[in-house]
Amino acid sequence: MLTDVELLCLVVAQQMLGIASDRKWIRYARSHLISMFPNLPQQSGVKSLVVV
């Protein structure tokens, strides 16, 4: 499970990189950021974490 701070970091990074699709973002994060965020959930787990 991600901490609130890790989740916020990932949401900000997604916006700064301009990746609108959550599916593309998770794919990008899992291939490039997994060493910094080893508890990164799969696609299905992300929607439940971020509530706008």
pLDDT tens across 6-38, in order? Answer: 989 998 999 999 999 888 998 999 999 999 999
Q: What pLDDT is stored for residue 22 in this prediction?
A: 85
Q: How far, in Å, CA of 48 to CA of 12, rounded?
A: 17
Is the model's pLDDT at 49 over the cut of 80?
no
The structure's pTM equals: 0.76
As a residue count, the chain comes to 52
CB count within 10 Å of CB 11 equals 15
Residue 52 belongs to some domain of the structure: no
- Residue 15 placed within a domain: yes
For residue 50, tell me if it sits in a domain. no
Ramachandran region, residue 15 (left: φ > 0; alpha: ψ -120 to 50; beta: rest) = alpha
Is 21 a member of any domain? yes
Residue 51 lies in a domain: no
**Residue 46 pLDDT class (50, 70, 90 cuts):** low
Parent domain of 39: 4-45
pLDDT-based confidence at residue 1 (cuts at 50, 70, 90):
confident
What's the structural domain count of the chain?
Answer: 1
Structural tokens at position 33: 């950021």
